[in-house]
Copies of this chain bind each other. A is one copy, B any other.
Amino acid sequence: MKKPNAKERILETAGELFFQRGYSGVGINEIIEKAGTAKASFYQHFPSKESLCEAWLQEMHDRSTDTHARLLGSDLSPQEMAAAYFTHLADFLKAGDFRGCPYSNTGAVSDENCCGILKLIRLHKESTRKFFREIASLSIPDAARAEAIGDRLFVLYSGATAEAQNLKTLWPVEIARDAAVELLS
């Protein structure tokens, strides 16, 4: 517990740095220095910086999948689920200096060459969209309408994250949460 192996230390350190300063703003040298490993060790575990980024995105995606499942499996009402998820976002942003969505931020500096990264971003976004659609389907009988409302929740969530980052404030999240609760009532 005190001393995980090199791969885990690299992944954890890189995650923090990528999140704080963006994928393109952090170099391998800084990562290995802060993780306390040698460069050779890094390239033994990850063939490239890009693959490290993919591992990071995948790890976060797995965690968020768990969160979605836990919320959907809870006994909260749909409105409460959505509200809890937006509150979770607010806590996340507050704790992380309003750095916004790691997926969107990474996508903003990835060209079409990084297709592995772009694929993971889309995977996560579609998964989040599906999560909101499922919430919506719990309180809206009409399936087509539920899908449309779920998509609206998704767009609200994304906009709240983006603008909280740009403006370094929490009101977009609160606005989006209120709108989401209204949409589900």
Residues of A within 8 A of B (CB): 21-22, 24-25, 100-101, 103-105, 107-109, 111, 121-122, 125-126, 148, 151-152, 154-163, 165-168, 171-172, 175-176, 178-179
Q: How far is the CB of A48 from chain B (nearest CB, A)?
A: 18
Bound together, the chains give a CA A151 to CA B160 distance in angstroms of: 10
- Is chain A's binding surface mostly helix, strand, loop or mixed? helix
Establish whether residues A111 and B21, one from each chain, have CB atoms under 8 Å apart when the complex forms. Answer: yes
Taking A101-B162, A104-B104 as known contacts, 20 extra A-B pairs with beta carbons closer than 8 A to each other, sorted by chain A number, are A21-B111, A22-B109, A24-B109, A25-B111, A103-B166, A104-B162, A104-B165, A108-B109, A108-B165, A122-B168, A125-B163, A148-B175, A151-B171, A151-B172, A152-B156, A152-B176, A155-B160, A155-B163, A155-B175, A159-B162
